[in-house]
Amino acid sequence: MVQLTMDLESSAEMLGTEPEAFLEFVKREQIEGIIKLNGEWRVSIFTLARLLDTTPQALLELLEDYALGQMIEEVEDDEYFEGQDGWRIYQTHLAETQE
Chain centroid offset of residue 56 CA: 11
In angstroms, rounded to a whole number, what is the distance separating the alpha carbons of residues 64 and 83?
A: 19
Question: Do 13 and 49 belong together in one domain?
Answer: yes
Predicted TM-score (pTM) of this structure: 0.67
Say which range, 44-48, 53-57, 86-90, 91-95, has the weakest mean pLDDT.
86-90
Asked if 52 and 12 touch (Cβ cutoff 8 Å), the reply is no
Last residue of a domain, one of 53, 68, 87: 53
Indicate the number of domains in the chain: 2
In angstroms, rounded to a whole number, what is the distance separating the alpha carbons of residues 6 and 35?
A: 10
- What range defines the domain where residue 69 resides? 57-99
pLDDT in tens, 30-53: 999 999 999 999 999 999 999 999
Q: Which amino acid is at 13?
A: E
Question: Do 1 and 41 belong together in one domain?
Answer: yes
Question: Do 16 and 35 belong together in one domain?
Answer: yes
Q: What is the DSSP string of 11-59?
A: HHHHHTS-HHHHHHHHHHHT-SSEEEETTEEEEEHHHHHHHTTS-HHHH
Question: Do 13 and 45 belong together in one domain?
Answer: yes
Question: Do 6 and 34 belong together in one domain?
Answer: yes
Question: Do 31 and 73 belong together in one domain?
Answer: no
Checking if the pLDDT of 20 tops 90, the result is: yes
